[in-house]
Amino acid sequence: MFEYPALYETAGDLSAKSQSAYLWLIRTEYALLFLAAVLSMNWSNEPTFFIVYTIVLLASLGIFSCRSLMKPEQNWYRGRALAESIKTSSWRFVMRASPFEDAASIKMPRGEFREHLLAILRANRFIGEKMPPDSAAKQQVPASMEEVRARDLEERKAFYLKNRIKEQRNWYTVKAGANKRASRNWMWAGLAAYAVAIILALIRVEHPNWKLWPIEPVIVLASSFIGWTQIRKFNELASSYTLTAHEIGIIQNRIVEINEEKDFAEFVNDAEQAFSREHTQWVARQQA
């Protein structure tokens, strides 16, 4: 496998860190809302209890405000879109596909690839302030990329089939299954929480004098399960990944029929367009 440009690593790191920050803010907010619901059951009449209750509510408000102002999900989406764009461009370069077709000298496609990376960087200037200083010293066109590009057609076909097509098909298949299972599990967890809340409400009819009823905390828990499912978009991703995996499977069969550089270049572009479905989704989410 070859080494990707340093800009790809930077964009990927930015996306991963921003995703982690965003999801942890969501988890913390849900946890504080659940705790607030528990405290709303009036366990005590002491002033200290109400002070604690107020602090929990203020903390929840603080997390919500922080998430709304920082908007880490935007860097998550932008970083992922940028990384995917660089990745697919890198594969086009090493496979001699458009716009980096074969030339008399490697200097021409190498220069075109550098200009392409520069154009991407200019269009995504937001990432400049996020880059660690040491990343600028890394290679933007690693020698391993040119080494793969220099191989003959059959070697590049085998390399692309193993390290790009099959790897991507397996990735999408695994992710589709994981998202489908996650959607089902969180759905059942939400239904179970709602069922518990309904049972507690019915029991309360028979015992109206009981003071502590955890109905509100259970409802908050159920709402959190549903909210988490919507935030992670499990169903949407499962459908999209499954479709892409099938599309890759159809495309994969064409590679054995290719014997010319021109045909292989067209094949790579068709395959990369299919792989870019994920990238397109990230861009759409950024603009939503």
Number of domains within the chain: 1
**What is the residue range of 79's domain?**
6-287
Evaluate whether residue 11 is within a structural domain. yes
pLDDT for position 280: 64
- The CA dihedral of 272, 277, 281, 284, to the nearest 10 degrees, is 70
pLDDT for position 131: 62
Beta-carbon contacts of residue 174 (< 8 Å; ≥ 6 apart): none
The distance of Cα 89 from the centroid of its chain, to the nearest Å, equals: 19
Evaluate whether residue 1 is within a structural domain. no
| Tokens 């695994």 belong to residue | 174
90 vs 145: CA distance, rounded Å: 8
pLDDT in tens, the chain (288 residues): 899 998 898 888 888 999 999 999 999 999 999 999 998 887 888 888 889 999 999 999 999 999 999 889 888 888 888 888 899 999 999 999 999 988 888 889 999 999 998 888 888 776 666 665 555 556 678 889 999 999 999 999 999 999 999 999 999 999 999 999 999 999 999 999 999 999 998 888 888 777 778 888 999 999 999 999 988 889 888 988 898 889 898 888 899 899 999 999 999 998 998 888 666 665 555 445
> Which tokens sit at 220?
């908050």
The DSSP string of 140-169 is: SS-HHHHHHHTS-HHHHHHHHIIIIIHHHH
pTM score: 0.85
Looking at the chain, how many residues does it have? 288
Rg of the chain, C-alpha, whole Å = 26
